[in-house]
Chains A and B, each alone.
Chain A
Amino acid sequence: MNHLDELEAEAIYIMREVAAECEKPVMLYSIGKDSSVMLHLAMKAFYPEKPPFPFLHVNTTWKFKEMIRFRDQRARELGIEMLEYINEEGVRQGINPFDHGASYTDIMKTQALKQALDKYGFTAAFGGGRRDEEKSRAKERIFSFRNQNHAWDPKNQRPEMWKLFNTRIRPGESIRVFPLSNWTEKDIWQYIRRENIPIVSLYFAKERPVVVRNGQIIMVDDDRMKLLPGEKVEMKKVRFRTLGCYPLTGGMESDADTLDAIIEETLSAVESERTSRIIDSDGGASSMEKRKREGYF
């Protein structure tokens, strides 16, 4: 077995354990490359059966249009159940990434996710988080327990021994499960190439309308993007290393329009991928851990 085979087998084993032992699992699907890999693994893990759980996309309503199209197309092709959840209360209040900064992420992502999990009563939720993304994730178990308020207690994690996952919880508690914990960004790309996994075209470099704001290249995906004085929309050949809400996702100038070119660029990259996620740079080194304690995935 090469190392991708090992990572694949580990993820499939984990998914089957959850399906066998957890009462009501769901797989979170964020449309990004990690979700694409996770979905692909789920299709393999249970084959010839369809994955015995639904998929859930928490939509902030600010995702790239291409992402939503891709999501709907994949769900149709694979014949899986794709749930969408939007925090309608947040929409009514007009919460948006331009005016509400950090509380936007909290209301439209963190709160929305908690509401969705509560609404359906899911007891276990797969997420595509990887330990190489960020320092507090590097310390999280594959099976990560949440109390009734969906909060994580990093000081009191259950020991996780060998492949013996303890999935027992009390009513109201839930588990977040990260089958890709041990994958690196490079592994993800190599696996996408090996398995020929479809991904959103935003990952490939293309001429796109963008503005440069605070050193970040932001794509103007629709007319809700408010231009600041002095800003002008220009066409640049850009691609995205991570995908999220378009006003919060920095692109990079690149000519990489094939998988091989992306992998080449990733291997020589000088910045880790979360740099392009604007929300992470608020609050310094520990911001991710803080958000996780509050229930962010």
Chain B
Amino acid sequence: MKNDLLKFITCGSVDDGKSTLIGHMLYDAKLIFADQKKALELDSRVGSRDGNIDYSLLLDGLMAEREQGITIDVAYRYFTTDNRSFIVADTPGHEEYTRNMAVGASFASLAVILVDASKGVLTQTKRHSRICSLMGIRHFVFAVNKMDLVNYSQMTFDKIKRHIKMLMAEFDYQSLQIIPVSATEGDNITKKSDRLSWYNGKTLLAYLEDVDVKEEDGGEGFSMAVQRVCRPNQNFRGFQGQISTGEISVGDTVTVLPSRETAGVLSILQGDQKVEKSGSGYCVTLQLDREVDVSRGCVIVKDYSLHISSMFVASILWMDDSSLMAGRNFWLKLGTQQIPATVMRIKHKIDVNTGAEISADTIYKNEIACCEISVGSSIVFDKFASNRELGSLILIDRITNMTSACGVVMYPLHRGHSLTWHNMDITKELRESQLGQKAFTIWMTGLSGSGKSTLANALEKRLFSMGKHTMLLDGDNVRMGLNKNLGFDENDRIENIRRIAEVSKLMNDAGLIVLTSFISPFSQDRKNAREIIGPGFVEVYVSTPLEECERRDVKGLYREARQGIITNFTGISSPYEVPEKPEAVVDTSRHTIDECVDIVLEKLQDFLKTPEQ
């Protein structure tokens, strides 16, 4: 066991003293460098703790954290004793930052959960225990802290101990230790405390040095997700990945999933060394003895059966500020596979306090839920309980690229099981999410010849090249069809704009970005359009001056208007009401079309980026 590595996290409610505990451990065990120690003593004097050393300052590294006196993100610390190397992820206690706590939990094999002896087991203690368990931690230490505040009372400790045992009863764990400590006073951190003489167990550090966290060897078969194909020349084709489970030797017959083709192992490279066999945890390059179809995302196995399906049930931790509803689309990453996925149904959410299953339509940040997930085509996976690497997943928001959720596979579902969507309407938001964009209408207004159509065309091309789904409405495709029966009198003019606005709204509801290019000279008409379309209405005033428009006179209309051949012509014989507060103004006589597109895009930033940021 000497010189192996233990990754653990500290968690628990805010103010339970996590940072202080680790700080004190490092300080006592002389595991910090002298200049850090000097800085710590200096910082403490400026701080609020009456000149006593504030051990938490060792860990709370970010400025915002120092200002607020809280831990908002995971801090990693590294220390080595004579017996072991440690990486400790010190995680935040605030509920708001639960996702950062989960990051630490996914990394660790053991959790040290702090409980304030004067407060007992809190909701946040339960939440953290549950998340640790969900993320696959099987070794738990509860440090019952601030024993100094309860006069080192064994009775208080025993009561909390009973609560902890009750809490842990529903989780699957391999080891559990409960230790009374005081992080500020240093009792039972690295030294046995006389004040806690009724406690017979090890100190926290001694326990962490000894505890065995090796995965129980289930004698499982070999599995490895392919990260990439290595092809330096015509003669070599190797499959690179990190072995998840089991062992592999030259000469073994392996199966490639999902194709189920088989081949023999010709050679194994561990890094740049040729080896005869390798095992779990190592990064290898496998060369097979015949041509098989293998690419990134495939899984190579031997004596191991995995699920191949396009549906499964997963327990997820929702981490996004926006909420989750059935029907939302994501990128799913599982192993080395990345594929579009839909949350088909929320089965229930979990009450963090009691573990009860509660039915729910909407899942909010920091909630744990059980969902049915469907992916675009069959993927290879396992239950998390049998294979951590092929049973864990993240869901990535298709618009913001945020890691919205992490989860573990509970069990596979098979086609036909429940392909129905439950309690779910296809909403505008769902359509937007599927298209990976936010829908809105760019309403261009301006004189005839001001360059509206040219700009609308250029803008649409630019949006299209950005991967946006768009539709352009202009005189050509509206006047000839939908509004063929309308003339140019006042009633028809109002009706013309109303129909364009209604069509734009429908297209927005379908998730599309609409560009309209009409003179629309009257404020009242544009106001009506704004009301119909709603908050997605973006008015762009193409402000090219009349003289310039008339000089251009592309269609010869100004000439005819001047000659009186056309009546009621905007700018000549009918007014143009300049928009009062357009979202953007561009003048095509002062800027090139490309520059105008840039100006409009700049104003559209809020629409083009993330919906909730």
B393 interface residue per 8 A CB criterion: yes
Tally of chain A residues near chain B (CB < 8 A)? 59
A272 within 8 A of B: yes
B162 close to A (CB within 8 Å): no
B406 and chain A: residue at smallest CB distance: A161
Query: Which of B5, B100, B393 is A159 in contact with, Cβ under 8 Å?
Result: B100
On chain B, the residues within 8 Å of A1 by CB distance are 281-282
The listed residue (B61, B76, B271, B336) touching A181 by CB distance below 8 A is B76
**Which residues of B from 545 to 559 have beta carbons under 8 Å from A?**
none
Residues of chain B from 252 to 305 with CB closer than 8 A to chain A in the complex: 269, 271-272, 281-283, 285, 296
Do A20 and B396 have beta carbons less than 8 Å apart? Answer: no
Interface segment out of the listed A5-13, A83-91, A247-255: A5-13
Give the interface size class of chain B.
35 or more
Asked if residues A182 and B33 are in contact (CB atoms below 8 Å), the reply is no
Residues of B within 8 A of A139 (CB): 61-62, 73-76
Does any Cβ of A come within 8 Å of B149's Cβ? no
Judged by a CB distance under 8 angstroms, whether A232 is at the interface is no
| CB of A157 closer than 8 Å to a CB of B | yes
Residues of A within 8 A of B462 (CB): none
B interface SS class: mixed
Quick check: which of A61-69, A129-137, A203-211 contacts chain B, the rest being far away?
A129-137
Give bound CA distance, A19 to B228, whole Å. Answer: 8
**Residue from A7, A134, A169, A290 within 8 A of B401 (CB atoms):** A169
Q: How far is the CA of A34 from the CA of B12 in the complex (A)?
A: 35
**Which candidate, B186-194, B230-238, B416-424, B588-596, is the interface stretch facing chain A?**
B230-238
Cβ-based interface call for A226 (8 A): no
Are A184 and B78 touching (Cβ within 8 A)? yes
Query: At the interface, yes or no: B331 with Cβ under 8 Å from chain A?
Result: yes
What residues of A have a CB within 8 angstroms of the CB of B281 in the complex? 1, 5-6, 9
CA distance A19 to B39 in the complex (A): 40
Kindly state the separation between the CA atoms of A271 and B401 in the bound complex, as whole angstroms.
41
In whole angstroms, what is the CA distance A49 to B228 when docked? 12
Using CB atoms, name the residue of chain B closest to A170: B401
Specify the chain B residue showing the minimal Cβ separation from A12: B283
Is A154 in contact with B402, judged by CB distance below 8 angstroms? Answer: no
8 A Cβ contacts from A129-174 to B? 131-132, 134-136, 138-139, 141, 154-155, 157-164, 166, 168-171
Q: Kindly provide the distance from the CB of B278 to the nearest chain A CB, expressed in whole angstroms.
A: 11
Shortest CB–CB separation between residue A139 and chain B, in angstroms? 5
Alpha-carbon distance between A46 and B228 when the two chains are bound, in angstroms: 9
Contact in complex: B403, A269 (CB < 8 Å) = no
- A3-B5, A157-B73, A161-B102 known; A17 vs B230 contact (CB < 8 Å): no
Complex CA distance for A138 and B63, rounded to whole angstroms = 13
- A13 touching B63 by the CB < 8 A rule? no
Q: Is the CB of A48 within 8 A of B394?
A: no
B166 at interface, CB cutoff 8 A: no
> Is A47 part of the binding interface, using a Cβ–Cβ cutoff of 8 Å?
yes
- Which of chain B's residues have a CB closer than 8 A to the CB of A114? none
The reply on B35 being an interface residue by CB < 8 A is: yes
With a CB–CB cut-off of 8 A, which chain B residues contact A184? 78, 80
With A159-B319, A285-B43 given, is the CB distance from A48 to B236 under 8 Å?
Answer: yes
Write the residues of chain A forming the contact surface with B, with a CB cutoff of 8 angstroms. 1-3, 5-9, 12-13, 16-17, 19-21, 43-50, 131-132, 134-136, 138-139, 141, 154-155, 157-164, 166, 168-171, 181-182, 184, 186, 269-272, 275, 285-286, 289-290
User: What 9 pairs across the A-B complex have the smallest Cβ distances?
Assistant: A135-B61, A3-B5, A44-B271, A270-B34, A272-B33, A47-B272, A49-B232, A161-B406, A12-B283
